[in-house]
Amino acid sequence: MNAVKRTVNRRRTRRIALVGTVAAAGLLLAACGGNDDMSGMDHGSKSPSASATSGSNPAPGAANDADVMFAQTMIPHHEQAVKMSRLAAGRAKDAEVKDLAGKIEKAQGPEIEKMKSWLKAWGEPTSPSGGTDHSSMPGMDHGSGGSEGTGMSGMMSDEDMEDLKAAKGTDFDKMFAKMMIDHHNGAIDMAKDEQKNGKNTTAKKLADDVVKAQSTEVEQLNKILDRL
């Protein structure tokens, strides 16, 4: 009888130990599962924040074809104005011409970068043709007036730019003023088109700025011409 009791007790002890082991294993698995869930929760909370930061849109909101065309055409338009303005440093004689040229370069350089960032955010190329070389794009010639193709009115031809490079002193001042007036008037026309047909708030705001700033500069350039 004592032997039977000892056998039963041993079996009962093993059963209790087995149950305890299974229970402990279950708790361990539950804990691991909880850690995985928490880890997943942490990852999920960080990922959207990082994504939002890296993918922030510099021109939020909807954009239509007019917005895209405005940026694509105003970029090379501004780039030429910057090139013209840089020539003034070593060629202009009039102090006001030099000062205005510096302001144009300072203002339009950052605007070029802004518009490039918009196009990148919109998934669009920097030019209507899908490339970055604007030299062969229609509308680049001053004589075309931008009435066809890209609509970049007021652009100087290669010959115009060579003439400006060759001029010095008062001749440069007069030529620069005349060319920049035409150039600015072209940009104003493009900006007014964006004001009328664009949809993106950021792009339309820049169009407003272009109209105001360059209209004021056209008036200043006309006054410069009158006294030269």
Q: What angle do CA 169, 170, 171 make, to 5 degrees?
A: 90
Do 69 and 154 belong together in one domain? yes
CA 197/CA 194 separation, integer angstroms: 5
Tokens of 77: 């338009």
110 & 156 share domain: yes
pLDDT band at 127 (very low <50, low <70, confident <90, very high): confident
Does residue 222 share a domain with residue 125?
A: yes
Q: What is the pLDDT of residue 52?
A: 34
Q: Is 139 left (phi over 0), alpha (psi -120 to 50) or beta?
A: left
209 in the same domain as 110:
yes
The pair phi, psi for residue 92, each rounded to 5°, is -70, 150
More confident residue, 16 or 174: 174
- Is 183 found in the same domain as 96? yes
Residue 148: other Cβ atoms inside 10 A: 9
Shared domain for 88 and 137, answered yes or no, is yes
Q: How far is CA 84 from the centre of its chain?
A: 23
Dihedral sign (CA 119, 201, 81, 129)? positive
Q: Are 75 and 126 in contact (CB under 8 A)?
A: yes
DSSP letter at 156 equals P
The backbone torsions φ and ψ at residue 78, rounded to the nearest 5 degrees and listed phi first, read -65, -40
pLDDT at 29: 40
Predicted local confidence at residue 25, as pLDDT: 44
Q: What is the pLDDT of residues 138-159, one digit of tens each?
A: 333 433 344 334 457 899 999 9
Q: Residues 126, 204: one domain?
A: yes
Give the pLDDT confidence of 2-49 residue by residue, as tens digits. Answer: 444 444 455 554 444 444 444 444 444 444 444 444 343 333 332 233
Q: In the chain, what is the straight-line distance between the N-terminal and C-terminal CA atoms, in Å?
A: 130
How far apart CA 83 and CA 108 sit, in angstroms, is: 11
Rounded distance between C-alpha atoms, residue 104 and residue 110, angstroms: 11
Asked if residue 7 and residue 109 are part of one domain, the reply reads no
> By CB neighbour count within 10 A (0-12 exposed, 13-18 middle, 19+ buried), where does 142 fall?
buried
Instruction: Tell me how far the alpha carbon of residue 82 is from its chain's centroid.
Output: 18
Supply the CATH number for residue 72's domain: 1.20.1260.10
pTM: 0.69
Q: Region 69-98: what's the mean pLDDT?
A: 97
183 SS3 class: helix
Domain that residue 20 falls in:
1-56
Selected residue with higher pLDDT from 180 and 39: 180
Query: Are both 45 and 145 inside the same structural domain?
Result: no
CA 174 to chain centre: 34
- Is the domain of 80 the same as that of 176? yes
Note whether 174 and 100 are same-domain residues. yes
**Last residue of one domain, picked from the residues 56, 82, 101:** 56
Does 185 lie in the same domain as 121? yes
Q: Are 168 and 180 in contact (CB under 8 A)?
A: no
Number of domains in the chain: 2
**Residue 133 pLDDT > 70, yes or no?**
no
User: How far is 192 from 17, CA to CA, in rounded Å?
Assistant: 85
Q: Specify the residue for token string 């900006």.
A: 191
